[in-house]
Structure 1
Amino acid sequence: MDTKYTRKDINEYTHEFELTIPFESFNHSYELMLKDYSKDLDLKGFRKGKVPSNLVSPQVKEVVKYETFEKLAPLYINTAVEKENLVPIAPYEFKEIPKFLENLDIPFTITVTTMPKFTLGNMKKVKVTKEVASVDEKEIDQAIEELKTSQKTETKEVNDAWAKEIGKVIGEETITTLKELREKIKSALQVQKEHYQMHKMQDEALKLAIKESKIEIPQPAVDFEASEREKAFNEDMKSRGVSIDDFLKANNITIEKMRELWQMDAKEAIESDVFLSLFAETKEVQVSDEELEEKIESIKKERPDADQSVFSNLEWREYVKRVEVKEKAFRLFIEEVLGKEFLDSHN
Structure 2
Amino acid sequence: MRVEINKKNEIDVEMVFEINKEEIEEEKRKVISEIKKDVEIEGFRKGKAPENIIEKKFQNLIKENIFKNLVSKSYIETIKKENFIPIIEPEIYDVEFTDDKLSFKIGVELKPNVEIKKYKGILIKKVEPKKVEEKDVENALRELEKRPEFSASIIDLEKRNMWKKRIREELEAKEKEKAQLEEENQLWEELFKNTKITLPEKLINKRASKYTEYQLKRMDLKGKTKEEIENYANEIFKIVKPYAEKEVKKYFILDKIAEIENIEVDEKEIDERIEMYSRNLGRPFDEVKKELLKNGEIENIRDEIRIDKAYKIVKENINYIERIVLPGQEK
* Greater strand proportion: 2
- Give the 3-state SS of the residue equivalent to 2:130 in structure 1: coil
- Partner in structure 2 of residue 47 of structure 1: none
- When structure 1 is superposed on structure 2, of 184-193 and 267-276 the one drifting more is 184-193
Given residue 15 of structure 2, which amino acid in structure 1 is its aligned partner? Answer: F
State the distance in 1 between where 2:171 and 2:288 align. 42
Post-superposition Cα deviations, 1:294-328, rounded to whole Å, max 9, x if no partner, equal 44555555530653762895965444332222222
- In 2 relative to 1, CA 91–187 (structure 1 residues): closer, same or farther, beyond 3 Å? closer
What is the correspondence of 1:1-347 to structure 2 with a 5 Å cutoff? 3-26=1-24, 69=67, 72-94=70-92, 97-100=94-97, 103=100, 105-123=101-119, 124-128=121-125, 130-136=127-133, 138-152=135-149, 163-165=154-156, 174-175=158-159, 182=164, 185-230=167-212, 243=221, 254-288=232-266, 290-299=268-277, 303-304=283-284, 306-307=286-287, 310=290, 313=293, 316-337=297-318
What TM-score do the two structures reach when normalised by structure 2? 0.67
Provide the C-alpha distance between the structure 1 equivalents of 2:285 and 2:124, rounded to a whole number of angstroms: 45
Give 1:86 shift: 1.0
TM-score, normalised to structure 1, is: 0.65
Counterpart-to-counterpart distance in 2, 1:73 and 1:281: 32
Cα deviation, residue 134, structure 1: 2.0
Displacement of 1:128: 4.0
Higher relative contact order (CA 8 A, sep 6+): 2
Counterpart amino acid of 1:331?
K
Call closer, same or farther: CA 1:129–1:25 in 2, change over 3 Å: same
Letter in 2 for 1:196: K
Counterpart secondary structure, 1:116: coil
Shift of 1:222: 0.9
In structure 2, C-alpha distance between the alignment counterparts of 1:183 and 1:140, rounded to whole Å? 9
Which one-letter code corresponds to 1:5 in the other structure?
V
* Comparing 327-336 and 204-213, the one that deviates more: 204-213
Q: Which amino acid counterpart does residue 75 of structure 1 have in structure 2?
A: K
Change (3 A) 1:23 1:86: same
Q: Which amino acid aligns with 1:143?
A: A
Change (3 A) 1:152 1:295: closer
Deviation at 1:271, TM superposition (A): 1.7
Q: Distance in 1 between matches of 2:28 and 2:265?
A: 49
Greater than 6 Å deviation, 4+ residue runs: 27-33, 64-68
Q: Is contact 2:122–2:319 with CA below 8 Å preserved after alignment?
A: no
**Identity across the alignment (%):** 17
C-alpha RMSD of the superposition = 4.6
Is the Cα–Cα contact under 8 Å of residues 126 and 209 in structure 1 kept in the other structure? no
Question: Are the counterparts in 1 of residues 20 and 102 from structure 2 also a CA contact under 8 Å?
Answer: yes
Alpha-carbon separation, structure 1, partners of 2:292 and 2:127? 44
**CA–CA separation in structure 1 for the residues paired with 2:27 and 2:222:** 41
| 1:307 counterpart letter in structure 2 | E
3-state DSSP class of the match of 1:130? Answer: coil
Q: Go from structure 1 to structure 2 and tell me whether the alpha carbon gap of 1:226 and 1:188 turns closer, same or farther (over 3 Å shift).
A: closer
Change (3 A) 1:229 1:71: farther
Tell me, which stretches of 5 or more residues in structure 2 are unaligned? Answer: 36-54, 321-331
Matching residue's letter, 1:261? I
Residues 193 and 74 of structure 1, relative CA distance in 2, 3 Å threshold: same
Q: Distance in 1 between matches of 2:80 and 2:172?
A: 54
8 A Cα contact 1:310 1:316, kept in partner:
no
8 A Cα contact 2:8 2:14, kept in partner:
yes
2:144 and 2:150 in contact (8 A); partners too: no
Quick one: structure 1 residues 328 and 84, their matched pair in 2 at CA, closer, same or farther if it must change by over 3 Å?
A: same
Which whole-Å CA distance do the structure 1 matches of 2:67 and 2:150 have between them? 73
Q: Give 2:195's aligned amino acid.
A: S
2:11 maps to a residue whose letter is Y
Letter in 1 for 2:177: H
CA distance in 2, matches of 1:69, 1:10: 26
Structure 1 residues 133 and 72, CA gap change in structure 2 (3 angstroms):
same
The letter for the 1-side match of 2:139 is Q
Identify the residue that residue 47 of structure 2 maps to in structure 1: none
